[in-house]
Amino acid sequence: MEQKEYLKTALQEFHITLQDKQLDQLLTFYDLLVEKNKVMNLTAITEFEEVVFKHFLDSLAICKVSFDGKTSMFQANKAEMTDADSTDQVNRANQNKRKASLIDVGCGAGFPGMVIAIAYPEVQVTLLDSLQKRVGFLGEVIEKLAIANCSAVHFRAEEAARMKEYRDRYDFAVSRAVANLSTLSEYCLPYVKPGGYFIAYKSEKIREEAPAAQKAIKLLGGKFASETEFYLPDSIQTGLDIQSSKGNMDDGGREKISETGKKSEQKISSQGDRADRTDSRGAGYRNLYVIKKTGPTPAKYPRKAPLPAKKPL
């Protein structure tokens, strides 16, 4: 299958429809990523099919999340438009509403932030990373693809979070960074304005991390809002949802077992060798853990490195 058609079909796993221009941008992003990866370490995943599912689709899993039980801009169905009228329609829509703002903290090679910026031109995205070389690469991608709603900045997370131009400025913060939930919350919640959300892209480790992070989340001005669980497909038509739920855990971060969850586990168990891989919530399991910012983060947070990682709250 031709790459563009493969990408388009894969996106349907999450019921996402993108315009031809956006598909072309993702394909060019892939080419730039693989080429730059030859001279600097951006990702261990370079095969096209793996990048589609493990980077592109994983990044766009935000489309599964609802906020306060309401349909979000990330969930809204994207009607197919021709290239001739798509830009004008998006521009007209954006003139009538304030763009939502999102920051990707510790964005690495641009996941999920760059992909979100491409898929959602109505969202103003800031990519933040501590490595200048990565930020330089992301700047090249933004320029090459002419992504007007995206910028890349070079700061350590704990440094930028203390700057007035970044602190309490964003509707959403996201992160796929490898750190426990308590540490991520200390790095990310200061960027979110009260009423906004921090979405942590987590693996099966969330089951251990969530209960331990509740004290930190409350201290930082946040509150558990929801979680969305799913198994990331590894090829076309192999994706399995567990559930997309609000309040699947209590305030202490403990899992609630729902009828939806039971049915989903039964469905997974019927999938043969795939069930062997996913029933233990190992490879393929994803959890988008959503924290709502309910009040200001105390001025003393985030602490200077390496305290957030070495001594989590």
Q: How many CA atoms lie within 13 A of 156 on its CB side?
A: 9
Tens-digit pLDDT profile for residues 45-95? 999 999 999 999 999 999 999 888 777 788 754 434 334 444 444 444 444
CATH number of the CATH domain containing 111: 3.40.50.150
Range of the domain at 171: 3-310
| Sequential DSSP letters for 103-158 | EEET-TTTTTHHHHHHH-TTEEEEEEES-HHHHHHHHHHHHHHT-TTEEEEE--HH
How many domains are contained in the chain? 1
pLDDT grade, residue 178 (50/70/90)? confident
* Residue owning tokens 């202490």: 252
pLDDT at 268: 27
pLDDT grade, residue 235 (50/70/90)? low
Share of the chain above pLDDT 70, in %: 77
Residue 31 neighbours by CB distance under 10 Å = 12
pLDDT grade, residue 109 (50/70/90)? very high
Question: What 3-state class would DSSP assign to 216?
Answer: helix
